[in-house]
Amino acid sequence: MSATATATATATKRLPPLIIGSGISGLTFSTILAKHPNYPKVFGTTKPPRVFDAAKEFSAKLGAGLSIAPNAVPALKQLGVWDEIRAAGCEMDRVCIFSESKKELGHMSGDMYREAWGAPLLTIERGLLQQILLKHAQESGVDVQYNKKVTSITVDKRSETVFITFSDGTTETGSMLIGADGAHSITRKTMYSLLGTPEPPMRTRGISTLYGISAPIPQIPLGHTQWVMGTNEIWGTWALANHKTFWFINEYEPEKVKEGQWFDDADVEATKKRFEDRWFPVEGVGRFGDVMRDSDRCIKVGLWEKSYEHVHAADGKIVLMGDAAHPMVPFAGQGANTAIEDAVTLANLLLSPAASLPTIAEAYAAQRIPRTKKIVDFAGLTGTLQMGGGGVVRRVRDWTYMTPRWVLERSMGWLYGVQPRIEGL
Ligand SMILES: Cc1cc2nc3c(=O)[nH]c(=O)nc-3n(C[C@H](O)[C@H](O)[C@H](O)COP(=O)(O)OP(=O)(O)OC[C@H]3O[C@@H](n4cnc5c(N)ncnc54)[C@H](O)[C@@H]3O)c2cc1C
């Protein structure tokens, strides 16, 4: 790039960025900017970053549970949110895996995460995690605005700015736009149209998931998680705080799974009915129906994945992060963690005062696409294996649960041992 282009690109960073989406990635990213001593220098303003979200208002009741893994924990510690997240979540102590014929296939210990990668595997209600991140973002000065659905995005080449329009007819201008707007991102659509390339479709493995949050179940020891691995189906729980659980039913339903689909109440009830008499491996509980009884937030969705090969357009003025860049199936528990990694990586690059936007965007793509592609693929393959469709797949699956801890530690270091840090904070 020429010296003039570099100078222009640096100068255009002097309007605050526009951040679309107040999910895990948008809130983490905006908080890093707001707290960072380089933010005023790089963006030439003391005005806080602004985040716009389509939701009418914040709700702690959206979504069920998420895992926070060691790869995201150091950054959360640097942001000063980890202690609160840890107190609101539940550290996984033991995962017990059973076959549908009630045989224990294997177990994993939470100590492995703490000892090998320096942090626990923590499960938390998505709403509580978001509430904590939102509180810290606002305390750091981030201006989070709800009921702001972005309906169009244009890039003005002459003024080198990004212009967005909301469904209420209002508009905003920024030096760049960060699309942290989830799996069905309007930013991604705009990016592909600017690139002049058709947006590739997402991929399904035909798996649906029904999940909910149970009332407290005192019989399940705190931190204990149990899954029953069937044929083309899995049911089980993840432990949450106060003996609540984040329970799930995964089914192979290729004919039913449609992109962006939320199943209707009748389907939710039919699935619950199908599974209510299923065995559940905790003494004093017995039936899976006892787990689901009195539960909150039952949602059934089809699972989709895609590792997009592009994450920026318009000379770096449009950049994607989180699910907008790499929606993934939940079998690796990495949706939130990769979103946090993206936020840290992009913030580190942007807050280095000498760099130009095109250079930053290229470096971001080079650092994030190979890693997130590997994680998307790993999550998808894990899903296919866990669902245990064919006889051979099922045998391989059951055998993997006997993997000794030292093998797991060696084979999972690429995922949990890579722990991005926020530079200069
Ligand atoms: C309602 C909801 C419930 C979820 N529940 C679970 C769950 O139970 N378990 C799980 O593992 N994962 C869940 N997820 C996904 C999980 O949050 C993400 O995989 C992960 O945290 C990555 O987050 P993200 O910030 O990239 O995107 P998301 O968390 O999806 O956040 C995207 C945000 O962008 C906003 N947005 C989208 N389009 C626009 C627009 N046009 N204009 C303005 N704002 C827009 C959305 O309102 C949303 O707040 C859920 C996501 C959502 C949105």
Q: Given this model, what pLDDT does residue 167 score?
A: 98
Contacts of residue 118, defined as CB under 8 A and 6 or more positions apart, other chains included, come to 70, 73, 419
Ligand 1 atom with least separation from CA of 25:
25
Ligand 1 atom with least separation from CA of 148:
43
Give CA 80 to chain center in angstroms: 20
Ligand 1 atom with least separation from CA of 246:
8
What share of the chain has pLDDT > 90, as a percent?
A: 84
Calculate how far, in angstroms, residue 180's C-alpha sits from the geometric centre of ligand 1. Answer: 9
Which pairs from 165-171 meet CB under 8 Å and 24+ separation?
Answer: 166/52, 167/54
Q: Given this model, what pLDDT does residue 12 score?
A: 43
Distance between CA atoms of residues 251 and 389, nearest Å: 10
pLDDT tens digits, one per residue of 145-186: 999 999 999 999 888 899 999 999 999 999 999 999 999 999
Per-residue confidence at 14, pLDDT binned at 50, 70, 90?
low
pLDDT tens digits, one per residue of 51-65: 999 999 999 988 889
Q: Given this model, what pLDDT does residue 15 score?
A: 81
Calculate how far, in angstroms, residue 144's C-alpha sits from the geometric centre of ligand 1. Answer: 15
Task: State in Å, rounded, how far the first CA of the chain is from the last one.
Answer: 30
Ligand 1 atom with least separation from CA of 24:
25
Residues 185 and 179 sit within 8 Å (Cβ to Cβ): yes
Which residues does ligand 1 sit against, CB inside 6 Å? Answer: 20-26, 52-55, 62-66, 126, 148-150, 180-182, 186, 211, 322-323, 330, 335-336, 339
Phi, psi (rounded to 5 degrees) for 255 = -75, -20
**Sign, Cα dihedral of 248, 253, 259, 262:** negative
Distance between CA atoms of residues 325 and 388, nearest Å: 28
Distance between CA atoms of residues 212 and 291, nearest Å: 10
Domains identified in the chain and CATH numbers: 3-202+305-416 (3.50.50.60)
pLDDT tens digits, one per residue of 359-391: 999 999 999 999 999 999 999 999 999 998 877
Kindly tell me if the per-residue pLDDT of 351 is higher than 70: yes
Kindly tell me if the per-residue pLDDT of 9 is higher than 80: no
Per-residue confidence at 205, pLDDT binned at 50, 70, 90?
very high
Distance between CA atoms of residues 240 and 253, nearest Å: 28
Calculate how far, in angstroms, residue 183's C-alpha sits from the geometric centre of ligand 1. Answer: 7
What share of the chain has pLDDT > 70, as a percent?
A: 97
Q: Given this model, what pLDDT does residue 382 score?
A: 95
Minimal-distance CA residue to ligand 1 atom 38? 181
Closest to 225 measured CA to CA, from 236, 209, 212: 236
